[in-house]
Amino acid sequence: MIDVRDHKELQAVVLAMKRLEPTVKKSINAATRDTLNPVWKSLVAVNATSEFDSKLLVPGTRIAAGNPPRAVAASSVRGIGESKRLKPATDFWMAEFGGRSNKTSTYTRKSKNGGTHKVTRRTRAGLPQPIRKGRAVYPAFAEIAPRAVSLWTQIVILETHNAFEGKG
């Protein structure tokens, strides 16, 4: 994650954005979305190697323009799969970070004969192996972050220049 407070150059761009007129800000935000959205979406899609990753991480992937802009992934709240129980916005961690497959859940159920008995299941057996650095979104962001910061700075400067020249 890039923190604006760690870079004086980015602080200057953020301050410049605060001082601009709303019409100039609107054109900067539109240019930021138009330019960075396709690149960000394609990077996340390329890094999502399995169908499970693609279904959980790619929906809702976008650049949220603002001051500063944010890269968003897996923000969809629409359920996926046959049961629609998995929602990318809340269950993204399964695909991005995996889980321990030896985690168990014990519960009581009724048997066919009318009695009850305890059942122990490995509830995360189908998840990929755990990985701290992420599988798709984190590597994609590491790849796009320097380009995105540079491009956003250039867009702010260009749109501000165009506004002063009366071109925008």
Report pLDDT digits (tens) over 24-79: 889 889 999 999 999 999 999 999 999 999 999 999 999 998 888 999 999 999 99
Compare 102 and 70 and report the one with higher pLDDT.
70
Contact assessment for residue 97 and residue 130, using Cβ atoms and an 8 Å cutoff: yes
Q: Which two tokens stand for residue 57?
A: 């991480």
How many domains does the structure of the chain reveal?
1
Cut 0.95: pTM above it: no
Rounded mean pLDDT, 5-14: 83
Q: Which two tokens stand for residue 16?
A: 């410049």
Q: CA 95, 99, 103 angle in degrees (round to 5)? A: 145
| Nearest partner of 78 among 55, 98, 45, 62, judged by Cα | 55
Q: Which two tokens stand for residue 91?
A: 């269950």
CA distances for 93 relative to 64, 88, 102, 124, 127, angstroms:
21, 9, 17, 12, 10
Q: Which two tokens stand for residue 87?
A: 């929602």
Q: Which domain holds residue 33?
A: 4-165
Report pLDDT digits (tens) over 71-88: 999 999 999 988 898 899
